[in-house]
Amino acid sequence: MKIYYVCENGGPEWFNSYGVLENGFCFGQHLCSHPNYAPGDLLLRRKNRLAALKEIFGVEPTDDNQEIIVVNSVADIPEWWNSHEALQEVLKPQYERYAKMVEDKASAELDTATSRAKDNG
């Protein structure tokens, strides 16, 4: 399944970026200073999101299944962008599961970091 990073140019060093799967699932949104940061900011450096997307959709990022799309004007908006809106209601159970998994994983990582800090301090 393809992973898209859609980065809307909002001015110098200001990109409103969305991580979206080809099935319409939006796994994150982030402001980036450059589109090349979107993959790391939205997914690749987020263990909780990586694990959740793998479990729910069987998606793992590779060089071949990721694409950065820079939107500088209306003409740059992908053809599929508006059609994804109609898919959101069907994806609601996956969003609920994803939110729970991401929250649980982030909480566990924070607990581990806090324990390490106490042990070292």
User: Where do the structural domains in the chain lie, given as residue ranges?
Assistant: 3-120
3-class SS of residue 29: strand
Q: How far apart are CA 35 and CA 109, in angstroms?
A: 27
What's residue 12's pLDDT? 86
3-class SS of residue 80: coil
73 in Cβ contact with 61 (< 8 Å): no
3-class SS of residue 98: helix
> Of 84, 19, 21, whose CA–CA distance to 46 is shortest?
19
What's residue 107's pLDDT? 53
Q: What are phi and psi of 21, to 5 degrees?
A: -85, 160
What's residue 13's pLDDT? 86
pLDDT averaged per 10 residues in sequence order, the chain, 121 residues: 97 93 96 95 95 96 97 95 92 95 66 50 56
Name 68's bridge partners. 5
What's residue 106's pLDDT? 54
3-class SS of residue 28: strand
Provide the total of helices (H) and of strands (E) in the chain, helices listed first. Answer: 3, 4
What's residue 40's pLDDT? 96
For residue 112, give both structure tokens: 């581990």
